[in-house]
Amino acid sequence: RIPLKQFKSIKTQLKEKGELEEFWRNHDPDIFARRYLHCFPADTALSLGTVSERLYDYMNAQYYGVVSVGTPPQRFTVIFDTGSSNFWVPSAYCISEACRVHEKFKSFQSDSYEHKGETFSLQYGTGQLLGVAGKDTLQISNISIKGQDFGESVFEPGLTFALAHFDGVLGLGYPSLSVDNSLPVFDSIMNQQLVEEPVFSFYLKRGDDTENGGELILGGIDHSRYKGSIHWVPVTEKSYWQIHLNNIKIQGRVTFCSHGCEAIVDSGTSLITGPSSQIRRLQQYIGASPAQTGEFLVDCRRLSSLPHISFTIGHHEYKLTAEQYVIKSIEDQTFCMSGFQSLDITTRSGPLWILGDVFMSVFYCIFDRGNDRVGFAKAV
């Protein structure tokens, strides 16, 4: 069991300081790539105009837990991210501002460290994270994983990771999503037979109790965390935890995705995202107005009159009330933020919706690698 803490997201921090618009201007992918191009090795392709998907996710991510790397153990806070597959933490040799304010891994102090002699780079929408690959013992709660592949970042350009509460990211996606053939952490756990079942599950809590943000359970299901029965759906593409959505209903009427569409269940994204054209319409249905900072706002006093929104998955309806799909601000009690956001991700199977933490905090989510399926039950 790994307890999760809930922090203010990077985006919220920037917004509170009035710096969000300036951040977006400076971190436009093309501007960013041009600014930092000279910092990267010649054989690293910095693509212009890429989608800001992963970095956008981390700007909104809010749930973190603690792991340790090395012998003796060195502690780090990480996002447990079902939307990626690599594990990385900052290196003691990192030269970026982001690393100055975070815990750094000192490989020279670890008796169990192995240098792999390779560099790695992870492409984010607004830049790249560069580092070196290594292997070491990873401790998660009472599990000790020997020879885990991981990356030590030496260059984390830009402001995003400097503002983050987390030191690194621990991906829980499928191996096909992994960069540089690194074996994902849960695959190592399965290979080393460290859990009873090849299953992990998330129980996320929303609210003001930041210390108690829920938990990630490795190796099984906590039956006290949900009520009713678990409904299972198959994974349709083994990279992300991708599943099929039958449709999306507003107040019981099919409004989006009427012929079915694909979605990913992603603990590294805090909101529910979908294709721009459909999310714009959805915001109109719930009376949300665009703010200058890119999100959509709803009058908190109108919540009781807003429609419920249901996601039909495996012909079972998962209903969200307005209280569940809006995010209340502690600072401003008048306006609530819509829990829906535009994000265009195109894949072979068409545009993807993301069921992020707004969805996962209402439903207990179980990720079953043994049977390649995802289970949902009503969280208590």
Residues 43 and 227: their CA atoms lie apart, in Å, by: 53
User: Tokens for 241?
Assistant: 């935890």
Residue count of the chain: 380
- Integer-rounded Cα Rg, in Å, for the chain is 20
Contacts of 335 (CB under 8 A, 6+ apart): 297, 298, 299, 300, 329
Task: At 201, give phi and psi (nearest 5°).
Answer: -145, 150
The verdict on whether 81 is a catalytic residue reads yes
pLDDT of residue 55: 39
Domain that holds residue 160: 2-194
How far, in Å, CA of 334 to CA of 140, rounded?
41
For residue 43, the SS3 value is: coil
Structurally, the chain folds into a number of domains equal to 2
Whether 160 and 234 share a structural domain: no
Tell me, yes or no, if 266 is annotated catalytic: yes
- The residue annotated as part of the active site, out of 81, 136, 149, 357, is 81
Identify whether 215 is part of a domain: no
Q: Which two tokens stand for residue 18?
A: 């009035």
Do 152 and 256 lie in one domain? The reply is no
Question: Which pLDDT tens digits describe the chain residue by residue (380 residues)?
Answer: 887 877 666 667 667 776 666 665 555 544 444 454 444 455 444 443 333 334 344 555 568 889 999 999 999 999 899 988 999 999 999 888 888 889 999 999 999 999 988 888 886 544 568 889 999 999 998 899 999 999 999 987 666 677 777 899 999 999 999 988 899 999 999 999 999 999 999 999 876 655 677 899 999 999 999 999 999 999 999 999 999 999 999 999 999 999 999 999 999 888 899 999 999 999 999 999 988 767 799 998 999 999 999 999 998 999 999 999 998 875 566 788 899 998 888 888 888 999 999 999 999 999 999 999 999 999 99
Say whether both 186 and 241 belong to one domain. Answer: no
- Model confidence, pTM: 0.87
Within 13 Å, how many C-alpha atoms sit on residue 346's CB side?
A: 3
Question: Apex CA 310: angle with CA 306 and CA 313, to 5°?
Answer: 170
Dihedrals phi, psi of 163, to nearest 5 degrees? -85, -10
Token pair listed for 179: 């960069």
Q: What are phi and psi of 174, to 5 degrees?
A: -75, 160
Look at residue 67 and tell me if it is in a domain.
yes
- pLDDT for the residue numbered 349: 81
In a domain, 234, yes or no: yes
Are residues 62 and 126 both part of a single domain? yes
Q: In terms of domains, do 179 and 271 share one?
A: no
CATH number of the domain that residue 130 is part of: 2.40.70.10
239 and 315 belong to one structural domain: yes
Q: Do residues 314 and 181 share a domain?
A: no
DSSP 348: T
| Residue 370 and residue 312 share a domain | yes
If asked whether residues 110 and 159 sit together in one domain, one would say yes
373 and 278 assigned to the same domain = yes
Q: Which of 136, 266, 357, 368 is catalytic?
A: 266
On whether residue 37 sits in a domain, the answer given is yes
Same domain, 189 and 226: no
Residue type for position 292: Q
Q: How many CB atoms lie within 10 A of CB 16?
A: 14
Let me know whether 129 and 165 are in one domain. Answer: yes
Cα separation, 16 vs 161, whole angstroms: 17
Beta strands in 111-222 (DSSP E): 114-124, 127-140, 143-155, 168-171, 199-204, 214-218
Domain C-terminal end among 175, 194, 213: 194
Angle at 133 between CA 201 and CA 195, to 5 degrees: 25
